[in-house]
């Protein structure tokens, strides 16, 4: 129920986070003009422009991960096989070192100049660095400089990737209607895992058709060079999208405050330290959830081919091919679980992810250990199931933990530090646990442990399904829904007007509340 302002509020005004007194908010009530009615063509453009970036990011992860054994002789031909593999794995890990730096920088920049501009920058850097890998000289041409250039390009790529996912989830969440945010945001992760599957499938096709000698000679360049024209198309799509209406409204309010000669309120800082100090609880919850989801995700995508070949005796081609159909099926199921979260809530679906990971991890690795194709596929599917529940929710649940003015920055910190610490290290930790104990079931125990901790974090996370984003006005599908929302605001326990940005939308008191007419209005969009 909206809070009725007290006489004290009316006379003395309301204090801001900075301690300054604002104009008295005599009546914090929604009007139809306050509600954002989603422009459907604009939403479709925003979805298309963001999905292509996420797809490209994971396309490169898939390509590079499956070319590690091929690229070793190209950049370190005089080293033994183990050193080559360690160098390429270390280069892959270097991207995760750069990601937090990119997340902090682009997150800060995205909260200052806008999401659309920064997302265009990150995609340009991602596409250019991926394409540049395909143009790098080999060891035979320039010696050790070739390896140094490879590390440099991957660092640039990791830096740009740090701003990509945090910005994409923020952008889509701010564009989406409140009741369908889970479905629309989940399309981002569908694109991510499809991108990985496409990259892995392309490498597999090239390995079969060209053969290993040709792949080591020049064939390894093809997947990276393809990223060039694909990147140009993706950049064109992203340049066409508009700024999110939620963030634009925040910027307009900020400009209005700055131009008001009577205001004494100082603008709040949105630097990384200020963001962490103000939102550390939400950041910690988000980091734990990202860790739980990504240990499973990277175990399935980045480690499982190695596990199948080095531990379970599959050849390299089968180790790659067995994961591809699972990734494709999982990708197609992600929007379904995203839509489920819109109906029953983010927390229940995230608990499904945590619970299924705890229950199914041991059966999954026992099935994989049986050594049959059918049992391996079934075991991989059991690992993919909790991943589906987890990742379909992160893109909508995590941005809702933070207010609009610092959402991109907070997401950049939470997501990228967690992925760097837990996601990128998952293959190494699992391999080290197996080597130290000799127990092939250690991956299952590790995944169970991270999901137990993830389940605890879900307990402390507030439910946000169907509610306006923190610090934003409600977003709906149609004018009909906006008028209905305003008419029923007193009976809607999910609407908290104290969290909405009425700060600079002063309305004089009125003697009565004007309810809108609901007749002859278009029906709301069905999703």
Instruction: Tell me how many degrees the CA angle 173-240-527 measures, rounded to the nearest 5.
Output: 40
Q: In the 8-state DSSP scheme, what is residue 476?
A: E
Determine phi and psi for 263, rounding to 5 degrees.
Answer: -75, 145
pLDDT given at position 339: 95
- Is the pLDDT at 372 greater than 80? The verdict is yes
Is 62 within 8 Å of 196 (Cβ atoms)? yes
Residue 498, CB half-sphere, CA atoms under 13 Å: how many? 12
pLDDT (average), residues 186-203: 89
Crossing angle of helices 442-460/346-369, nearest 10°? 180
Cβ contacts of residue 226 below 8 Å, gap of 6+?
202
Which helix (H) or strand (E) is 274 found in, with range?
helix 272-298
pLDDT (average), residues 332-346: 95
Give residue 372's Cα distance to chain centre. Answer: 35
Please tell me which of 27-41, 214-228, 411-425 the model is most confident about, judged by mean pLDDT: 214-228
pLDDT given at position 460: 92
pLDDT given at position 260: 55
**pLDDT tens per residue, range 120-131:** 899 899 889 999
Higher-confidence position of 305 and 32: 32
Residue ranges of alpha helices (H) inside 241-345 are: 245-259, 272-298, 304-310, 316-321, 323-344
Cβ contacts of residue 43 below 8 Å, gap of 6+?
175, 176, 184
Q: How far apart are CA 192 and CA 448, in angstroms?
A: 24
Cβ contacts of residue 277 below 8 Å, gap of 6+?
none
Which helix (H) or strand (E) is 177 found in, with range?
none
Kindly report the average pLDDT of the chain as a whole number: 82
Cβ contacts of residue 263 below 8 Å, gap of 6+?
257
> Domain 36-245+271-460 in CATH: superfamily?
MFS general substrate transporter like domains (1.20.1250.20)
pLDDT (average), residues 219-239: 89
Q: How far apart are CA 491 and CA 485, in angstroms?
A: 10
Q: How far apart are CA 399 and CA 247, in angstroms?
A: 13
- Is the pLDDT at 207 greater than 70? The verdict is yes
**pLDDT tens per residue, range 41-82:** 888 888 888 888 788 878 887 788 778 878 888 999 988 877
Cα separation values, 468 from 406, 438, 479, Å = 16, 50, 16
149-153, 274-278, 501-505: segment of lowest average pLDDT = 501-505
pLDDT (average), residues 8-32: 49
- Is the pLDDT at 274 greater than 50? The verdict is yes
- Is the pLDDT at 420 greater than 50? The verdict is yes
pLDDT (average), residues 139-144: 92
Q: How far apart are CA 171 and CA 51, in angstroms?
A: 11
pLDDT given at position 257: 56
Is 290 within 8 Å of 419 (Cβ atoms)? yes
pLDDT band, residue 15 (cuts 50/70/90): very low
pLDDT given at position 524: 45
Q: How far apart are CA 184 and CA 335, in angstroms?
A: 8
Determine phi and psi for 475, rounding to 5 degrees.
Answer: -120, 130
pLDDT given at position 508: 37
pLDDT band, residue 361 (cuts 50/70/90): very high
Entry field: residues in the chain: 527
pLDDT (average), residues 212-239: 89
Is 16 within 8 Å of 22 (Cβ atoms)? yes
Q: How far apart are CA 122 and CA 231, in angstroms?
A: 11
- Is the pLDDT at 471 greater than 90? The verdict is no
DSSP state string for 18-74: TS-B----S-----GGGSEEP-HHHHHHHHHHHHHHHHHHHHHHHHHHHTHHHHHHH
**pLDDT tens per residue, range 294-318:** 999 888 887 787 778 767 777 767 7
Model confidence, pTM? 0.82
């Amino acid at each position: 129920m909206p809070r009725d302002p007290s006489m004290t509020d009316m006379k003395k005004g309301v204090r801001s986070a900075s301690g300054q007194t604002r104009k008295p908010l005599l009546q914090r009530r929604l009007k139809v003009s306050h509600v954002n009615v989603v422009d459907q063509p604009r939403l479709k453009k925003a979805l298309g422009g963001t999905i292509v970036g996420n797809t490209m990011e994971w396309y490169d992860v898939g390509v590079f991960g499956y070319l590690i054994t091929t690229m070793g002789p190209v950049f370190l031909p005089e080293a033994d096989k183990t050193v080559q593999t360690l160098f390429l794995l270390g280069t892959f890990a270097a991207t995760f070192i750069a990601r937090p730096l990119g997340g902090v920088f682009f997150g800060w920049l995205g909260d200052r100049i806008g999401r659309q501009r920064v997302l265009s920058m990150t995609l340009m850097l991602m596409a250019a660095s991926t394409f540049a890998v395909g143009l790098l000289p080999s060891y035979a041409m320039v010696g050790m400089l070739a390896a140094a250039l490879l590390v440099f390009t991957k660092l640039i790529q990791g830096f740009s990737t740090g701003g990509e996912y945090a910005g994409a989830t923020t952008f889509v969440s701010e564009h989406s209607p409140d009741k369908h945010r889970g479905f629309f945001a989940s399309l981002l992760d569908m694109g991510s895992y499809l991108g990985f599957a496409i990259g892995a499938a392309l490498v597999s096709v090239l390995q079969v058709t060209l053969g290993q000698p040709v792949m080591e000679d020049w064939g390894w360049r093809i997947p990276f060079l393809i990223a060039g024209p694909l990147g140009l198309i993706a950049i064109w799509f992203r340049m066409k999208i508009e700024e999110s209406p939620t963030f634009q409204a925040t910027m307009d309010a900020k400009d209005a405050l700055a131009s008001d000669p009577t205001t004494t309120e100082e603008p709040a800082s949105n630097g990384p330290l200020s963001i962490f100090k103000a939102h550390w609880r939400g950041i910690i919850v988000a980091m734990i959830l990202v860790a739980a989801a990504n240990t499973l995700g990277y175990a399935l995508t980045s480690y499982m081919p190695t596990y199948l070949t080095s531990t379970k005796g599959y050849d390299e081609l089968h180790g790659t091919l067995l994961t591809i159909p699972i990734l494709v099926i999982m990708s197609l199921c992600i929007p379904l679980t995203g839509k489920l979260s819109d109906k029953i809530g983010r927390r229940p679906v995230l608990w499904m992810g945590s619970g299924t990971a705890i229950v199914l991890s041991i059966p999954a690795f026992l099935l994989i250990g049986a050594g049959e194709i059918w049992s391996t596929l079934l075991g991989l599917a059991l690992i993919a199931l909790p991943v589906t529940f987890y990742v379909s929710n992160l893109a909508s649940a995590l941005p809702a933990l933070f207010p609009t003015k610092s959402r991109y920055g907070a997401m950049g910190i939470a997501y990228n530090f967690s992925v760097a610490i837990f996601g990128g290290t998952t293959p190494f930790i699992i391999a080290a646990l197996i080597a130290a104990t000799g127990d092939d079931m250690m991956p299952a125990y590790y995944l169970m442990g991270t999901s137990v901790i993830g389940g605890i974090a879900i307990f402390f996370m507030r439910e946000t399904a169907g509610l306006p984003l923190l610090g934003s006005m409600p977003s709906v599908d149609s004018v009909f829904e906006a008028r209905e929302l305003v008419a029923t605001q007193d009976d809607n326990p999910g609407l908290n007007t104290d969290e909405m940005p009425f700060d600079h939308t002063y309305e004089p008191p009125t003697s009565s509340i004007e309810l809108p007419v609901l007749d002859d209005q278009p029906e709301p969009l069905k999703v």
